[in-house]
Amino acid sequence: MDLDEALATTRAVRRRLDPSRPVPADLVRECVTLAMQAPAGSNVARTRFVVVRDPALRGAVADLYSDVYLNSYKDSEGYIGRVQVADTEGAAAQERTGRSADALERRLHEVDTIVIACLDGARLDGAAGFAGASLLGGVLPAVWSMMLAARARGLGTCWTTMHLAREKEVAELLDIPFDTVQQVCLTPLAYTVGTDFRPARRPTADDVLFWDRWDASAPRPPAVTGLIT
């Protein structure tokens, strides 16, 4: 797959995950091998991937995800389907995305591979902005590289942080050392129903480019008002 195509069409896949086709372990290894070529702060690779394949463990993780989604997130102001968008086309797209997010909550337990990305060696609880940005900057590029590698192999992913509201319970479930390892995100990893994903509706370059100084007149995203996914 052409790199530009992969960058433009790697979507958050929820409704089009295909749980009927198990993902070979070798494909997971290939994606992680490429992911580990991403930049790492101080040239120390702190990214770790916990790949959950055991059905009982997957089900337990999915149950915690669903509990947060249904009992904390879906009725909150931050719910993806409730975010206000001014134009009609954008509002319709937001509503579709809400239905897609709902579908992941219903189907996460069906997917045969769940990947939890972690920062090994530090926790960010109460950390200064500088420390948080520095440490996460050594993990997030690797996770995105893993997702791009998955897209190139016909696999779908969806970056979500929903489970972090129950992070300690997930840590206990998967033997992740909670005191020294920060979970960063969770994604399903599955083949997709078709591969014809298109670029999403996004701001243009001119909407988000500031030359030399911040432009206070530029459009701003909605304020964060609660859990996001």
Task: Please give the pLDDT value at position 84.
Answer: 75
* Residue 226 C-beta-side C-alpha neighbours within 13 Å: 14
Predicted TM-score (pTM) above 0.85 = yes
- Residue numbers in the chain where pLDDT is lower than 70: 225-226
The DSSP string of 181-220 is: EEEEEEEE-EEBS-S---------HHHH--SSS--TTS--
- CB-based contact 155:192 (threshold 8 Å): yes
Task: Please give the pLDDT value at position 226.
Answer: 67
Residue 125's SS3 state is coil
Which domains are seen in the chain, by residue range?
25-194 (3.40.109.10)
Which of 187, 176, 189 minimizes the C-alpha distance to 21? Answer: 189
Q: Residue type for 211, please?
A: W
